[in-house]
Amino acid sequence: MAGYYQAILDRLAGRTEELCGVPPSRLDWAGPARGRLVQAMGEVIEKQSAPPAAIAQLINIASGLDLADVEPQVRGLTKKPIGAQEPVRGAITNFLAFRALNASPRNENPLPPPTIQSKAKIRKAKSNGVQLSGTAKKQGPTHGKATRA
């Protein structure tokens, strides 16, 4: 594992034989070359200029990085024969599922905390012998309606 760790760090920093002449700005994922890299990824996907397994990996990388820029190319593959083949089909499915998930609105707290008034209403209902839905251990034929205990 240590070998992979160091290899990844060396490549990210450009400390390999094949990357030693590459300008630092091109090695910076967040730098100015990022757009060109993402565009090149989209072109490889669109033109299918690599074996299906490599295209699937490229789609998986785009999915993991949430690269919306390549979505049109990925969607385009669904209409082509390669898009029906595994592992490309699975990569497309995952990419589109993650894109849909990331595009949906996030509601961190779907229910507001109970107010003092609602707590008082619950206590009053219980003291009057009314069982509220959600508080019963077993629901009878009332299907969640308030009933007398």
> pLDDT per residue over 86-103, tens digit each?
999 999 999 999 998 887
Residue 22 φ/ψ, nearest 5 degrees: -80, 130
Task: Note the pTM of the prediction, 2 decimals.
Answer: 0.57
Q: What percent of the chain has pLDDT over 90?
A: 32
Shared domain check, 84 and 141: no
Shared domain check, 141 and 91: no
Domains in the chain: how many in total? 2
DSSP element (H, E) containing 11:
helix 2-13
Q: Please check whether residue 127 lies inside any domain of the structure.
A: yes
Q: Please check whether residue 110 lies inside any domain of the structure.
A: no
Shared domain check, 130 and 74: no
Shared domain check, 93 and 22: yes
In this structure, what DSSP letter does residue 111 have? S
* Euclidean distance between CA atoms 77 and 87, whole angstroms: 13
* Euclidean distance between CA atoms 133 and 147, whole angstroms: 9
- Domain around 127: 116-148
Q: Which of the four pLDDT bands, split at 50, 70 and 90, describes residue 8?
A: confident
| 3-state SS assignment for residue 79 | coil
Shared domain check, 87 and 28: yes
